[in-house]
Amino acid sequence: MRRVFALSAVICVLIVAQIASASGYVVILKNGHKIRCKEVMEVVGDMAYITLVTGTVTSYPLTQINLIETERYNQQGLGDAVEIEELSIINEVLPTPTPRGPLGNFVTLDSMERNPELKTNLAPTATPTPGIRLQTYPYHDERVTRAFEKVFNDEKLYLYHTSGGTKQGYFFVQAVTDSEEEVFHALETVCHAFFLIRAADPTIAPEVVELQMVQTSRKAAGTFRITPEDAAGLLNGTTSVQNFYIRNVIF
């Protein structure tokens, strides 16, 4: 009986330890190394500040951190309780994106010409987030679609689909992004387009833009519901694109 009780106690301790461990935050470096953290990392400039489980604060250059895999993993709610065998180890360090210049000013939405040749023929992919996906119907105002396409063309964001979103006033964009640099470029471009369209004609601009980014391999790279305030914050420099990704991404 004592042995059974002792064994039960050990099992309980292991379960509690695993649950406590699962509540942690894990930062994944581009070489595949995992760092257990006490809280979500903070990005300042080109550095990421990390509070270790011991309470010690350390920093790493953003170029060494795989932000996409870090956020994908942490949103699974696993913490550091299990190994991350399914994550790819990336040996090539991608360049840190530099701030982009202004996209220019538009007089009216009707002046933006349509560029149908920009649309990719890639099949749309299923979203990991329920509800946010490419719909079978276009956005209800074609002028808005033309305006987004004009900005995407100017900013060289070519591989995308657009449609209506999950609500009447929501605009949806699915962009193909195969690197961290492309993810940040797509995020900045969509936010800039949203901001400019609302400035040009707020009466017909979308209430929210839903952005889904996927790799050519169909692996999710991040899903977002972007409000006008979100777009403005990224545009005016209130938050960096890296922090914006960390705080707003939905997988």
Q: What domains can be seen in the chain, in order of their start residue?
A: 2-74 (2.30.30.100), 109-248 (no CATH)
pLDDT mean over 211-220? 95
Cβ neighbors of 203 (< 8 A, separation 6 or more) are none
Tell me, what's the pLDDT at 121?
45
Contact status, residue 172 vs residue 214, Cβ threshold 8 Å:
no
User: How large a percentage of the chain has pLDDT more than 70?
Assistant: 70
d(CA 223, CA 213): 6
Residue 62 scores a pLDDT above 60: yes
Task: Calculate the average pLDDT of the chain.
Answer: 79
d(CA 195, CA 227): 10
d(CA 232, CA 193): 11
151-189 b/e (C-beta count within 10 Å ≥ 16 → b): bbbebebebbbbbbbeeeebbbbbbbbeebebbbbbbbb
Tell me, what's the pLDDT at 130?
59
pLDDT mean over 69-89? 64
Task: State which of 45-49, 78-82, 104-108, 144-148 shows the largest mean pLDDT.
Answer: 144-148
Q: Is the pTM of this model over 0.85?
A: no
What count of other Cβ atoms lies within 10 Å of the Cβ of residue 149? 21
Confidence grade of residue 76 (pLDDT, cut at 50, 70, 90):
confident
Tell me, what's the pLDDT at 92?
44
First to last CA, the chain: 47
